[in-house]
Amino acid sequence: MYTLELNLKHSPLPLMVQKETLEAVQADYKKVIDALSSGNTVVLELTCEQVTDKHITVLVNEIAAVQFYEKSGTASASGKPPGFFAMAAMEPAK
């Protein structure tokens, strides 16, 4: 299973859809990149193969970043899937 993740401007939560094949996720990734490259305000709709009735629609000019990755049975050392940089809460020095 592959996950396509969109991060939006001014939103801390990513939008994600899952695809069963590498070719399917690469096709949707290219669709997003092509829409971003066009420079026009375009509405983009993506569907999820894992949750068949899940559809997301987003204004392309609100996308800040896009990535895809393989969802494996094991997580990284931190227990979280790969993703964009997120600041961790740090304890103040004593």
Q: How many CB atoms lie within 10 A of CB 75?
A: 11
Confidence of residue 52 (pLDDT cuts 50, 70, 90): confident
> pTM for the whole thing?
0.72
Query: In the prediction, which pLDDT does 26 show?
Result: 95
**Does a structural domain hold residue 88?**
no
23 with 42: CB under 8 angstroms?
no
How many angstroms separate the CA atoms of 26 and 71, rounded? 14
Gyration radius of the chain over CA positions: 15
What is the pLDDT of the chain when averaged over all its residues? 82
Closest CA to 84 of 20, 15, 38, 36: 15
**Does a structural domain hold residue 10?**
yes
Q: What is the pLDDT averaged over residues 80-89?
A: 50
**Does a structural domain hold residue 53?**
yes
Residues β-bridged to residue 16: 5
Q: What total of structural domains would you count in the chain?
A: 1
